[in-house]
């Protein structure tokens, strides 16, 4: 970690800060605050906005859990965010994704347009992963990918998927830049195993 975590729980100096902390703790439920929370709480205004935005993405979206977690896990792989992967891969498995699906999305350079993946991934899930890769790797989305998305998903789902992918790109960039996460010691090996550069988190 490049910044020290705040103490858990952090001290608050105003009733508003106390409410922000309570809201974050409520979203975590019985779980302790995450290392990411303990970094963001250096700034209560940022932590408050973050909690509201990601609370909506995580709990108020109509996206299926599998679609949401496919996109998040793929962002984690492409951006080399080990902590993000470790938080969300179990959620993807819990949603019903098979182990072979996780193995496929771990390959940062795999081409999701390949017909060879049809036996493992549904058309919907392949399109989600193609869209995620385009948004994450090149930002611009090819017209044909967006056309597929519009056929398979409603406008609300497309908007929520887009904000989920964009939001978790933000998460991964903060995690990697600040080296957040207690288990990042093995990140170099994890990145190399996925064909990524250990220094930059991108393909060599």
- Whether the upstream peptide bond of residue 9 has omega within 30° of 0, thus cis, is yes
- Say whether both 169 and 148 belong to one domain: yes
Domain membership flag for residue 204: no
User: 95 with 175, same domain?
Assistant: yes
Same domain flag for 44 and 141: no
CA-atom Rg of the chain in angstroms: 17
Residue where a domain stops, chosen among 5, 32, 59: 59
Same domain, 45 and 126: no
Inter-axis angle of helices 155-178 and 65-79, nearest 10? 40
pLDDT score at 192:
63
**In a shared domain, residues 77 and 55:** no
Last residue of a domain, one of 23, 40, 59: 59
Q: In the prediction, which pLDDT does 190 show? A: 52
Domain extent, residue 54, equals 15-59
User: Do the domain assignments include residue 174?
Assistant: yes
Let me know if 9 is exposed, middle or buried by CB neighbors in 10 A (0-12, 13-18, 19+). middle
- The length of the chain, given as a count of residues: 204
Q: Give pLDDT tens digits along the chain (204 positions).
A: 888 999 999 999 999 999 999 999 999 999 889 999 999 999 999 999 999 999 999 999 999 999 999 999 999 999 999 999 999 999 999 999 999 999 999 999 999 988 889 889 999 999 999 999 999 999 999 999 999 999 999 999 999 999 999 999 999 999 999 999 855 555 556 556 666 554 444 332
Q: Please give the pLDDT value at position 203.
A: 36
Q: Inter-axis angle of helices 65-79 and 82-94, to 10 degrees?
A: 160
Q: Is 30 in the same domain as 101?
A: no
Flag whether 200 is in a domain.
no
Query: And the tokens for 143?
Result: 């017209």
Q: Distance (Å, rounded) from C-alpha 80 to C-alpha 98? A: 22
Same domain, yes or no, for 128 and 144?
Answer: yes
Q: Which residues fall within 8 angstroms of residue 120, CB to CB, at 6 or more apart?
A: 98, 100, 101, 104
């Amino acid at each position: 970690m490049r910044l020290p975590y705040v103490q858990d729980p952090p001290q608050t100096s105003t009733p508003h800060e106390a409410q922000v902390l309570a809201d974050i703790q409520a979203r975590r439920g019985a779980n302790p605050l995450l290392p990411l929370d303990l970094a963001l709480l250096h700034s209560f205004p940022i932590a408050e906005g973050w909690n509201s935005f990601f609370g909506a993405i995580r709990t108020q979206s109509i996206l299926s859990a599998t679609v949401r977690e496919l996109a998040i896990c793929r962002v984690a792989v492409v951006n080399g965010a080990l902590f993000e992967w470790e938080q969300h891969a179990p959620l993807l498995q819990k949603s019903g994704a098979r182990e072979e699906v996780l193995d496929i999305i771990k390959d940062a350079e795999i081409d999701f347009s390949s017909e060879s993946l049809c036996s493992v991934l549904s058309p919907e899930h392949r399109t989600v992963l193609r869209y995620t890769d385009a948004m994450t790797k090149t930002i611009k989305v090819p017209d044909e990918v967006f056309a597929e998305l519009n056929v398979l998903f409603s406008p609300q789902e497309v908007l929520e998927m887009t904000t989920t992918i964009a939001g978790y790109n933000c998460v991964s960039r903060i995690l990697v830049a600040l080296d957040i996460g207690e288990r990042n010691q093995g990140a170099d090996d994890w990145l190399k195993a996925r064909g990524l550069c250990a220094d930059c988190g991108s393909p060599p």
